[in-house]
Amino acid sequence: MVQFILIGLLIGVPLAAQQQTGRLKVHAGPSRAAIFLDGRYIGPAGNFGFARTYTVAAGEHEMRRTEPRCQDVTKKINVAAGKTLKVTETLSRLPEPKGPFGTLKTGQPDKYAPVFVNGKYMGHSDEFDFGAQGLLLPPGEYTVRIEPRSGAVIEKQVTLEAGKTTVVR
C-alpha cells in the first residue's frame, strides 16, 4: 500500500508542474534574432527549430524579438498551461548602415552568451569570434557587455577605429 502511495506522489509531481507551465515555440526571421521573455534572454530564434521549444510558466509574458539589422518587436503573449504557443513572425529590415567601420570581436566559451553594445543586443558571442567574423560598427566609443550563462558578466569600454579590430574577452 505504501508503495502505491509513493508512486502516486511521484507521478503527481510532474503532472502538477505540467499544469502550471506551457511551451513556447518561436519561428522568427531572421533566425539570429534574439528572443527575450520578460526581459531575460532565452536564445536566438534559430534555437527554436522544429525540435526545440521552451517550457515557460503559464500566463501572460512580454516577448521581445530583436536583431541589430531589423526593427524590434515587443508584444504580450499568453501561454496556456499544458499547451504549446507557436509564434511566427519576420522582423522588418532597417536601412543598410554606411561605413567606415571598425570591427568588434569577442572571445567567450559560452557561444550563446548575448553581446550588448551600448545596451542594445547585437548577437551572441559565437557570431563574433572566429576568422573573418566580427561586428562592424562606426568608429567611436562603446560599452560592450557579454552575459554568459555561467561565470562573470564581462563589461568593457572600448574605442573602435576605422579599419581596425578590437577584441573583448
By percentage, how much of the chain surpasses pLDDT 70? 86
The grid cell for 155 is 563589461
The sign one gets for the Cα dihedral 25, 18, 110, 140 is positive
Tell me the CATH number at 27.
2.60.40
What is the end-to-end Cα distance of the chain in Å, rounded?
Answer: 59
User: Does the pLDDT at position 1 exceed 50?
Assistant: no
Full-model pTM: 0.76
Domain carrying residue 160: 102-168
Same domain? For 146 and 72 the reply is no
The grid cell for 156 is 568593457
User: Does the pLDDT at position 33 exceed 90?
Assistant: no
